Structures are given as structure tokens and as C-alpha cells.
Amino acid sequence: MKKHYRVIIVGSGPSGIFAALTLSRVGVEDIAIFERGKDIQDRKRGRGMELLCGWGGAGAFSDGKLTLSPTVGGFLSEFIPQKELMNLIKEADETYLLFGAPKEVLGQSSDKTEALYQEARLAGLEFIPMEIRHLGTENCIPLLQRVRENLRGKIDVFFETPVKELRVEKGKATGVSLHDGTSLEADFVICGPGRVGAEWIKNEVARLKISSVPSPVDIGVRVEAPASILRKLTDLAYEAKFIYYSKTFDDRVRTFCMNPFGEVVTETIEDIVTVNGHSYAKKKTENTNFAILVSNTFTEPFRDPIGYGRYIARLANLLGNGVIVQRLGDLLDGRRSTPDRINRCITHPTLISATPGDLSFVLPYRHLKSIIEMLEALDRITSGIFSRHTLLYGVEVKFYTNRVKISPTLETDIQNLFLIGDGAGITRGLMQASISGILAANEILKRIRKK
């Protein structure tokens, strides 16, 4: 470990990896990544924080959806013109292809997608068409291993070495401090801690007095139903993304991370267990799952949406000793699901460790009402999803740090300190997270060349 680096990158998720790739490709030396998790070959799916931390970040065990649309997966369109964003999507996509992403693109426009768009509007839904390159859960690790090998010898990577603090002097980033007391200097610091690091970066932003506002918190459920019910959507769009504004509360509700023939899985973030979903390129189950998330933005005096989301998740863990599963019919009838009722359910759960229970003890009425309304609207375009046999798993929570005031190149008010990726609250998926790393690295390259 050197005492001084040209660039220090915090986190080795897609944003940090693409920053490192961009810098190393043109020969920039003295780059270091500090990662709280393990190297890719040492990570094991299902082992608590290992699911979210380590080389590749949470994306390593995701189903690997690369969204090729500028309107989905983050807020980068607020920082750069759409033409530039499309060029960056193409650049990142070509990099993924270079390391083994499949050539097939799903969800391409057709007369049928236009018909679905119109049908959705009649149901009170907004359909967001988008093209996707799907890696599949089993293909994410091999691809990340190839990236790791490409960077070996070009950059220093320190695993199980979390950064304690970002070092700043006179309004300029000067390096980082580690938990063992080591202080390291750097000309530039790129911070991409991922969603799992949202709480840490939120505290750092507050400590350094960087201007920010709370991000919305997304709380909801993972929905699972027989794949045949949703095949109309998944055959056409693969991941069908819909937005709905609830009639009762006017809250924004959206579908997220649809997994055709996939499985429901758990995520552990420190002391809480939440739910997620995956799908494989080849292995298939008989079900399709997706999330329904309700977005809420809090105003003064409350400024801790992450804490609120954690509270809801902990309540579910307290009542269900982990994740709770409930039949939609039981929820509507005002009763808990029991093991016997789940066993009689036409939809066979893919997450067998989930505890049958009652989500109405966990989710606020406002969220439950919005979720039910969304399912009713979806049933108008894909009949059968609003069935008593549809399974709901809870809770699914997406943590994002406060939206920080940053430049179009993702630099903060502090000179040479860049915030990137999902943990910075500006992206919501693999592709835009990757692009954020490219954006920050490109700006650093300009300054290095100028010097």
C-alpha cells in the first residue's frame, strides 16, 4: 500500500470498476480501489453482506439487466444532454460486450409495444418501453472475473479494507482514512459506495457539510405469480416497467426488476433482511416475480428516509423472523397467511425460507393501498395478476443516500471529490452506475492532461 495515489476509488461496484477501466485504459498509474467486501472468487451468494459487498457490488449476484434506455435506471439525464448520455450508454454497452455480455437485445420496439403503451394508458398506467441486454445471474460472476483479470497489475485493489473517512483540506479532497488509522493521500477521490454504503456516505456528506436534500425512499413488496400470467408482458418487453399514481394518495408507484421464470431471494444489509428477485439466462422456474415500490419524499422536519426504510424492514424481520410471505387473497380478507394456506396456493413460492404472515402489520396503510391499486390496474392489461393466489413478499426497500449537489461531471462542492453510482443517489441500476464511473473518470483525465 502506497502513501500517495493519483486516484483513490471507494467501492468496487460497477461505478468504481468503470472508473478504474476508463483511467487504466489510457495508462493512468497509481490507482487504488478500497473495498469493504471480498474479491470476486471469494464471494458466496447468500452469505449476508457478501451478497452486496465485494468486487462487482450488489450487481455480482443480480440478474444482470443492462438497460439501454436513457430514461430508466437513474437521473443522469438531469446532468448531461441526452445525446451525450446515449453515447455513454453505447460506450458502456460495448465494454460489457467486450467482457462477454450476450449480443441479444430484448424489448425492442414494435407495433405490439405501441399497442401495450396505449392499453396501459387506458388502465391508468404509464408503460416505459426500453431495450435490455440480459446477462443472467449465472453469467454475472464470470464476466466480473474477466474484468478483474483485465485490471490485475494495472491498479491496486484492497479488499476487506473499508474507508472510515474522506479527507478534505481547504475545500479540496486530499485522500482517505482507513479504520486501522492509516491515512492515504490522493490527488482525486471517486466515491462509489453502492446502496449498501448509503448510510455511510450520508453521514460523510453531513460531516463535510456538502449540500444535499433527502432522496425518496422506495418501500414495497416483491410480487410472485405463475409465469403464464405475465407472459404477455415478458415476451414483449422482458422487463415491463410501469408507473402508476395512486388514486387515494397520489403517490408514485412503480414496477421494478421483473424476473421472467425467476426466483425470489433475500438480501442482508447489516442487521436487516429484505427481499429481491433474480432470473437466470438458462435455468427457469415456473414463476415470474417483480417488485412494486411506493416512493415517498419526506419534508421538514424529517430528514432520514433511510432510517424510515430500515424501521419498516426491521418490523418485518421482527414479525417474520426474516421475510414475510402472504397470499393476496389473505391480505384482502384481513387475515394472515399460514403454512397450510401457502401450501394450497396455486403459486408455489420460490423463496421457501419466507415466513407466512400478515403484511398489514408491517406496511403502513398508505403503502398497502397504493400497492393494491397498482395490482388492480395491472390486472386490466394482464388478467390474473390480481388473483387471491398471487404471492406478496415483504419487505423490499431500496436505500439511496441524500441527493447531493454535484456538477455535470459528478464533482461535489469539494474540489476533486466525485460521487458516483447508486450509493450517491444518482443512479438506480447497472448501466447508469457504470456510466457515472466513466463520467467522473473522464473529467479526471481532462485535468491530468491539462497539468
Residues 38 and 175 in one domain: yes
Q: What is the pLDDT of residues 208-265, one digit of tens each?
A: 999 887 777 899 999 999 999 999 999 998 999 999 999 999 999 999 999 999 999 9
Please check whether residue 316 lies inside any domain of the structure: yes
What is the amino acid identity at position 13? Answer: G
Q: Which of 359, 381, 398 is the last residue of a domain?
A: 398
Instruction: Give mean pLDDT, residues 78-100.
Output: 96
Q: Could you tell me the pLDDT band of residue 47, with boundaries at 50, 70 and 90?
A: low
Please check whether residue 119 lies inside any domain of the structure: no
Among the residue ranges 22-31, 80-89, 147-156, 401-410, the one predicted with the least confidence is 401-410
Q: Could you give the number of structural domains in the chain?
A: 2
CA 16 – CA 28 distance, rounded (Å): 15
Residues 188 and 291 in one domain: no
Q: Could you tell me the pLDDT band of residue 414, with boundaries at 50, 70 and 90?
A: very high
Alpha carbon separation from 25 to 20, 280, 342, 415, 438 (Å, rounded): 8, 31, 53, 24, 12
Residues 230 and 201 in one domain: no
Please check whether residue 146 lies inside any domain of the structure: yes
Q: Does the pLDDT at position 418 exceed 80?
A: yes
pLDDT at 46: 63
Q: What is the pLDDT of residues 351-404, one digit of tens each?
A: 999 999 999 999 999 999 999 999 999 999 999 999 999 999 999 998 776 778
Pairing of strands 163-169, 172-178: antiparallel
User: Residue 94 maps to which CATH number?
Assistant: 3.50.50.60
Cβ of 247: how many Cβ atoms within 10 Å? 12
Residues 193 and 60 in one domain: yes
Residues 238 and 319 in one domain: yes
Please check whether residue 125 lies inside any domain of the structure: no
Residue percentage of the chain with pLDDT more than 90: 79
Q: Does the pLDDT at position 51 exceed 80?
A: no
Please check whether residue 287 lies inside any domain of the structure: yes
Instruction: For residue 266, give its domain range.
Output: 217-398
Residues 259 and 273 in one domain: yes
CA 167 – CA 179 distance, rounded (Å): 13
Alpha carbon of residue 52 to chain centroid: 10
Determine the 3-state secondary structure of 277 from DSSP: strand
Instruction: Give mean pLDDT, residues 329-338.
Output: 97
Residues 444 and 376 in one domain: no
Q: Does the pLDDT at position 346 exceed 70?
A: yes
Sign of CA pseudo-dihedral 317, 62, 31, 78 = negative
Nearest partner of 431 among 84, 95, 158, 43, judged by Cα: 95
CB 359 within 8 A of CB 394: yes
Residues 270 and 321 in one domain: yes
